[in-house]
């Protein structure tokens, strides 16, 4: 449902954020987009919502060729793709509920249906109890949940999250990733840009790695047997590597 073909993005400054990237992501996938700072992750995500056009190449989302999409269709595209930006862009003078209902109020949905929808999403995101608070009253993890909830308001087919665990401690980071996995399990395609190696290495998900704008690796989810040994003790590790050696000897 998402296809980048030979996509290059060069800025006016001459900086190339993406170089000849070709990748396809199917409906329902969960993909980690990784790479050091400056490798092109945010540019990749911004291209998918037509925040900008590629300098070269083609980008397909659903049945749309984004390089040919008329500007008038962009709002429609952005309802189908929810985005959580690094700076969450929450309105500080509005409550959590008001922040999330705002995009719905701009459509012609009736207010009762809108309210029900927002409360359902807040509940799914685990922050219904905070609905009448202002952003300043919430923790970093809770604010991340608010931003995710807002991105879900039009029931998008795709959810993009740009370093959603960037400013969070390890425990809270895992909770956020759990929420994204739950959303994915309900059918939404999720692309999460991150350089949280702990999370990436411990989940069996596809990992697309960028390096200085180029696609360095595209690793499909590994089978369970290849799982890292992080959870095991040194003793168990030793034992299992011995077993592996015995196997190869046979
Ligand atoms: N609007 C822009 N103008 C000029 N250069 C940019 C712009 N956005 C990003 N870049 C450059 O493109 C490269 C990739 O940036 P970015 O996509 O933000 O990477 P990441 O999200 O992986 O840190 C960097 O070298 C960055 O400086
Ligand atoms: Mg970035």
Instruction: Give the pairing type, strands 64-65 and 56-61.
Output: antiparallel
Tokens of 166: 């960037």
pLDDT tens over the chain, length 250 residues: 999 999 999 999 999 999 999 999 999 999 999 999 999 999 999 999 999 999 999 999 999 999 999 999 999 999 999 999 998 999 999 999 999 999 999 888 999 999 999 999 999 999 999 999 999 999 999 999 999 999 999 999 999 999 999 989 999 999 999 999 999 999 999 999 998 999 999 999 999 999 999 999 999 886 665 555 544 444 444 444 444 444 444 3
Q: What is the CATH number of domain 2-249?
A: 3.40.50.300
Tokens of 117: 């929808």
Which of 7, 37, 38 for a ligand 1 pocket mutation test, highest count of atoms within 8 Å of Cβ?
A: 38
Nearest protein Cα to ligand 1, atom 17: 40
Nearest protein Cα to ligand 1, atom 25: 38
Tokens of 47: 């291209």
User: Domain segments of the chain: what residues?
Assistant: 2-249
Tokens of 92: 């500080």
Tokens of 118: 């927002």
Ligand 1 centroid from CA 43, angstroms:
6
Residue 140: other Cβ atoms inside 10 A:
15
The three-class DSSP label of residue 125 is: coil
Tell me how far apart the alpha carbons of residues 211 and 141 are, in angstroms, rounded to a whole number.
28
By C-alpha distance, which of 109, 41, 53, 34 is closest to 79? 109
DSSP state letter for 87: S
Q: Which residues surround ligand 2, an ion (CB under 5 A)?
A: 41-42
Nearest protein Cα to ligand 1, atom 8: 43
Tell me how far apart the alpha carbons of residues 74 and 250 are, in angstroms, rounded to a whole number.
60
Residue 92 burial class via C-beta count within 10 angstroms: exposed 0-12, middle 13-18, buried 19 and up: exposed
User: Is the Cβ atom of 42 under 6 angstroms away from ligand 1?
Assistant: yes
How wide is the angle at C-alpha 31 spanned by C-alphas 28 and 32, nearest 5°? Answer: 160
């Amino acid at each position: 449902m998402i296809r980048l073909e030979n996509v290059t993005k060069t800025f006016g400054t001459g900086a190339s954020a993406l170089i000849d990237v070709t990748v396809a992501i199917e409906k329902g996938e969960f993909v980690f987009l990784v790479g050091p700072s400056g490798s092109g992750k945010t540019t990749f995500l911004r291209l998918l919502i037509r925040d900008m056009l590629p300098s070269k190449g083609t980008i397909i989302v659903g049945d749309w060729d984004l390089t040919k999409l008329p500007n008038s269709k962009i709002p429609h595209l952005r309802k189908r793709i929810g985005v959580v930006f690094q700076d969450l862009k929450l309105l500080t003078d509005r409550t959590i509920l008001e922040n999330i209902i705002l995009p719905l109020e701009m459509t012609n949905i009736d207010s009762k249906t809108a309210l029900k929808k927002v409360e359902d999403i807040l509940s799914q995101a685990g922050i219904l109890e905070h609905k009448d608070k202002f952003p300043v009253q919430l923790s970093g993890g809770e604010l991340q949940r608010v931003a995710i909830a807002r991105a879900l308001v039009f029931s998008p087919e795709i959810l993009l999250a740009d370093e959603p665990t960037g400013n969070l401690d390890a425990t809270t980071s895992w909770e956020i990733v759990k929420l994204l996995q739950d959303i994915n399990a309900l059918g939404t395609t999720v692309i999460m840009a991150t350089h949280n190696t702990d999370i990436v290495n411990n989940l069996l998900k596809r990992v697309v790695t960028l390096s200085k704008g180029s696609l360095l690796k595209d690793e499909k989810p590994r089978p369970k047997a290849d799982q890292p040994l992080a959870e095991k003790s040194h003793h168990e590790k030793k034992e299992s590597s011995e077993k592996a050696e015995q196997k190869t000897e046979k």
